[in-house]
Copies of this chain bind each other. A is one copy, B any other.
Amino acid sequence: MVTETFSLHAKLAADTISIGDLQSSRLLLMNDARYAWLILVPRCDQVMDLDQLTDDDRTAVWKDIMQVSAALRALTNPFKLNIAALGNQVPQLHIHIVARNQGDAAWPGPVWGVGNAEPYDPNIATTFVDDCRQALGL
């Protein structure tokens, strides 16, 4: 499924910090220190929604989702995970995996569109990205 022509949508690039490439997806950290909020972008083209992936591609993307979910649980011990593919503002298929806790900035609502993102202190971001890479073997 991975295509040579893959390129990350400009808005996703602007809003995130790159963690690295998993088997089928690029993994990003949303630059919003209010949540541990990861975004998986399958490195294929021309797909807007999860149900439009081929069976093989969906299996591969799910493997990445499971790996990232396990790492995020291990690193942040959240109350729960939100897993969602919306993409109303950025048409490139991307999957949000967000560690949620009771009392976080958006709780119990969804994280999208709540207040303004609070960019990470660069040192904290670097540490968290390194932790993610280590947990994922990147």
Contact = CB atoms under 8 A, between A and B. Distances in A.
Interface of A: 48-51, 58, 62, 65-66, 69-70, 73, 80-89, 91, 100, 107-110, 112-113
A66 B51 contact: yes
Contact of A82 (B69, B84, B109, B113): B84
What are the nearest 9 A-B pairs in CB distance? A84-B84, A51-B69, A88-B108, A49-B81, A82-B86, A89-B108, A50-B83, A83-B85, A110-B112
A58 B62 contact: yes
A121 to B, nearest CB: 27
A96 to B, nearest CB: 8
Contact of A110 (B65, B66, B86, B107): B86
Contacts of A112: 109-110
B84 A85 contact: yes
A111 B45 CA distance: 26
A21 to B, nearest CB: 20
Contact of A65 (B51, B69, B88, B107): B51
A120 B94 CA distance: 32
